[in-house]
């Protein structure tokens, strides 16, 4: 049986798509070109803003998400991964319109935290307002007896600003220092881990920046994709 082909439903945003692609490359442990996995990427930045849609201020992204997923299926992908947390709100609608599986990054992240840190009871979520509103993380993490802590509204505004700055190509030490300050406040409230619940967050907050683990769902998704390729079934 030929090796499975990974499909990346990307463009939300392009930096996050690049980050996922790079992580898969690093996890492949390849010694030559031919050892790498075949990956088909549809980097579609024209997908309408997911948060705006969820908050009722923007266009529905589902038709564009479905079309992009179908492109990947037609191109030969055996399964799909999406480096966008908020887009997972639309995952069932996308899945109904393709015949290949879509791996759920949020579900995989909950499984990972429970397996690696079984004693953890509280994790703070750094995410877009769309992700907070849909409570995407709460359902999967609460099922594992992990409480999701939510930053205050002013902190959420600051996180949202930082996300859009990364999307516009800005990365700075000042941005890192702002997110580290919010992190310290969450640690005081009992957070045992920080979930980088927007794919732009790991680009400004690293594990070594804070004294509790930073859970990177993009990296977890990359690992799961590699496992899926290696699983010959």
The residues annotated as belonging to the active site are 84, 198
Strands (E), 33-121: 39-43, 79-81
Is residue 155 within 8 Å of residue 185, measured between CB atoms? yes
Strands (E), 24-113: 39-43, 79-81
Is residue 65 within 8 Å of residue 57, measured between CB atoms? no
Question: b/e string for 208-230 if b means 16 or more Cβ within 10 A?
Answer: eebebbbbbbbbbbbebbbebbe
Is residue 217 within 8 Å of residue 16, measured between CB atoms? no
């Amino acid at each position: 049986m030929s090796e499975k082909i990974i499909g990346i439903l990307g463009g939300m945003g392009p930096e996050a798509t690049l980050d996922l692609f790079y992580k898969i490359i690093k996890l492949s442990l390849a010694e030559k070109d031919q050892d790498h996995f075949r990956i088909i990427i549809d980097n579609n930045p024209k997908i309408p803003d997911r948060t705006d849609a969820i908050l009722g201020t923007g266009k529905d992204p589902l038709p564009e998400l479905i079309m992009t997923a179908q492109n990947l299926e037609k191109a030969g992908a055996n399964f799909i991964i999406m480096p966008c947390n908020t887009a997972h709100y639309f995952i069932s609608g996308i899945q109904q319109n393709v015949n290949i599986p879509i791996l759920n990054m949020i579900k995989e992240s909950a499984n990972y935290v429970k397996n690696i840190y079984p004693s953890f009871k509280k994790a703070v979520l750094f995410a877009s307002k769309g992700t907070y509103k849909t409570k995407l993380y709460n359902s999967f993490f609460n099922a594992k007896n992990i409480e999701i802590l939510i930053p205050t509204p002013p902190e959420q505004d600051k996180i949202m600003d930082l996300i859009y700055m990364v999307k516009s190509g800005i990365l700075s030490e000042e941005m890192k220092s702002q997110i580290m300050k919010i992190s310290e406040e969450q640690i005081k409230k009992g957070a045992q881990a920080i979930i980088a619940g927007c794919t732009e967050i790991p680009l400004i907050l690293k594990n070594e920046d804070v004294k509790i683990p930073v859970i990177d769902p993009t990296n977890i998704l990359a690992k799961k994709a590699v496992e899926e390729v290696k699983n010959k079934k």
